[in-house]
Amino acid sequence: MPNSLIIVVIMVLAPIIIVYADEPSFTDEQYIYVGQKSNAMSTGEKLLILQSRKIVQDFKRRLGKTLKYSLKSAGPASAIKTCSEIAPKLATEFSEKFQIKIYRVSLKNRNLIQGKPDQWETIRLKDFDEHKTLLEKDAFLETSEITNESDRFYFRYMQALSVKPLCLTCHGEKNYIPVEVKQILRRIYPNDTATEYRIGDIRGAVSIKKLMH
Ligand code: HEC
């Protein structure tokens, strides 16, 4: 091939290669997307999903660690306090750090204010519920969308939280929850509906909302 032809081929191919190489590697078998994934999902949205996965992972790790530690060191009754104080505090810390809103929601929420899903979250939480059998060990159900609310665009992301044995102490069937835990829950959360869960159920989700500029 003459040198000039090689140069032309390189010039044509280089931008294409750069564009494809730039695409974030977003396919990860651990993550199962629930809902309709737009074919035209932009690179920007994919990057936001990748960032959200990291934030949620970190959020869950911090919360899980604190919860496990207080369950072990102080028992389930004291761990309720950890959950009711630490979870909202951690949500505020992460929201400020990443300039987003992050919180936990559920169709059967215990925290009547922060835990209550909005319309978008309600629909997607029901979707998660319908797909809970997809939850294999170490897999995560996720969903996202760019929404338009009163002429403002938001990136929305949710990742399901599944019920593990640890959760049953405070969210399980009533006769499984220790009496002292039940008493405290009744006192702090008189309208609590977040019980009667079984292992493998979707307990709720971590939700992220980010204003797009
Ligand atoms: C020691 C008791 C305890 C354990 C164990 C526990 N939770 Fe909770 N959970 C709570 C309390 C208390 C709240 C309400 C926190 C608040 O006021 O924000 C809560 C709230 C939540 C919420 C927010 C939505 C809502 O209902 O308000 C989710 C989601 C949740 N828990 C998931 C889980 C999962 C998943 C596990 C297991 C990995 C778990 N919890 C284990 C006590 C517990």
Rounded-to-integer distance, Cα 29 and Cα 37, Å: 15
Dihedral over Cα of 38, 39, 45, 48: its sign: positive
Confidence bin at 25 (pLDDT 50/70/90): low
The CA 104 to ligand 1 mean position distance, Å, reads 9
Name the nearest CA neighbour of 176 among 187, 163, 188: 163
The CA 153 to ligand 1 mean position distance, Å, reads 30
Confidence bin at 23 (pLDDT 50/70/90): very low
- What per-residue confidence (pLDDT) applies to 21? 46
Q: Whose CA is nearest to atom 20 of ligand 1?
A: 110
Three-class SS of 37-101: CCCCCCHHHHHHHHHHHHHHHHHHHHHHHHHHHHHHHHCHHHHHHHHHHHHHHHHHHHHHHHCCE
Q: For residue 178, what are the β-bridge partners?
A: none
Q: What distance lies between CA 87 and its chain's CA centroid?
A: 14
Question: pTM of the predicted model, to two decimals?
Answer: 0.88
As a whole number, the mean pLDDT across the chain is: 89
Q: Quick check: CB of 164 below 6 Å from ligand 1?
A: yes
Q: How far lies 152's CA from each of 46, 60, 146, 212, in Å?
A: 20, 29, 10, 8
Q: Which atom of ligand 1 is nearest to the CA of 108?
A: 26
Question: CA angle, corner 141, sides to 139 and 147, nearest 5?
Answer: 155
> Model confidence over 87-129: pLDDT tens digits?
899 999 999 999 999 999 999 999 888 899 999 999 999 999 9
Confidence bin at 22 (pLDDT 50/70/90): very low
- What per-residue confidence (pLDDT) applies to 90? 94
144 within 8 A of 171, measured Cβ to Cβ: no
Q: Whose CA is nearest to atom 15 of ligand 1?
A: 84
Q: Quick check: CB of 60 below 6 Å from ligand 1?
A: no
% residues pLDDT > 90 (the chain): 69
- What per-residue confidence (pLDDT) applies to 1? 60
Residue 18 has pLDDT above 70, yes or no: no
144 within 8 A of 49, measured Cβ to Cβ: yes
Please state the φ and ψ torsions of residue 104, each to the nearest 5 degrees.
Answer: -105, 140
Residue 35 has pLDDT above 90, yes or no: no
Q: Quick check: CB of 195 below 6 Å from ligand 1?
A: no
Q: Ligand 1 pocket check: which of 86, 111, 199 to mutate, most ligand atoms within 8 Å of Cβ?
A: 111
Q: Calculate mean pLDDT across residues 39-64.
A: 92
Q: Quick check: CB of 186 below 6 Å from ligand 1?
A: no
Q: Which atom of ligand 1 is nearest to the CA of 205?
A: 29
Q: Quick check: CB of 75 below 6 Å from ligand 1?
A: no
Cβ contacts of 120 within 8 Å, gap of 6 or more = 145, 147, 156
- 12 or 181, which is more confident: 181
* Helix 43-74 with 76-98: angle, nearest 10 deg: 150
For tokens 């970190």, name the residue: 58
> Model confidence over 157-185: pLDDT tens digits?
999 999 999 999 999 999 999 999 999 99
Q: Quick check: CB of 206 below 6 Å from ligand 1?
A: no
**15-19, 179-183, 203-207, range with greatest mean pLDDT:** 203-207
